[in-house]
Amino acid sequence: MSKKLVAFFSASGSTRKLANTLAEVLGADTYEIKPATPYTGKDLNWNNSQSRSSVEMADINSRPELADKSTKVSDYDTIFLGFPIWWYVAPHIINSFLESYDFSGKTIVLFATSGGSGFGETLNQLKTSCADSTLWIQGKVFRGHTDKNTLSDWVKSLPID
């Protein structure tokens, strides 16, 4: 059985709650991906084209700085990578995380939270930040209040050990 990590970014707490429940289901370790400068409510106002999140997401090359790079990705075989969907893709801090570690030979299973959006071009957008030998599983988009049984059923359906 492979060793698993649930790494996640959560701006408002919904993804954190889901990630912690998923880690419980998996018996996995967790790692919270945090920006060096935390997001404020004003930063997350997607209705304001000048808000921090809007400006970052408008620039495909934006890479928000990470608060730390202390997780030992090398200790894990499978990484469940979670985030909220922003503008139909992962927030660019996920690219920052992926570009800070070597994921060669790892399996990355994506999961996300959203009020209604799907993954869009997320998988293609993230693949550019990893080695070609990384195995990707698109995973699923959940509502923030997903229960353990639903997550357990999802995990059982995945092509991982």
Each domain of the chain, given as residue ranges in start order, spans 4-157
Instruction: Give the range among 4-8, 35-39, 128-132 with minimum mean pLDDT.
Output: 128-132
Task: State pLDDT tens for residues 87-115.
Answer: 889 999 999 999 999 999 999 999 999 98
**Cα angle vertex 82, ends 91, 12, to 5°?**
65
The radius of gyration of the chain's CA atoms, rounded to the nearest angstrom, is: 15
Instruction: Say which residue, 145 or 149, is predicted with more confidence.
Output: 149
Confidence of residue 1 (pLDDT cuts 50, 70, 90): low
Q: Is the alpha carbon torsion for 132, 66, 146, 44 positive or negative?
A: negative
Enter the pTM of the model.
0.95
> 4-157 maps to which CATH number?
3.40.50.360
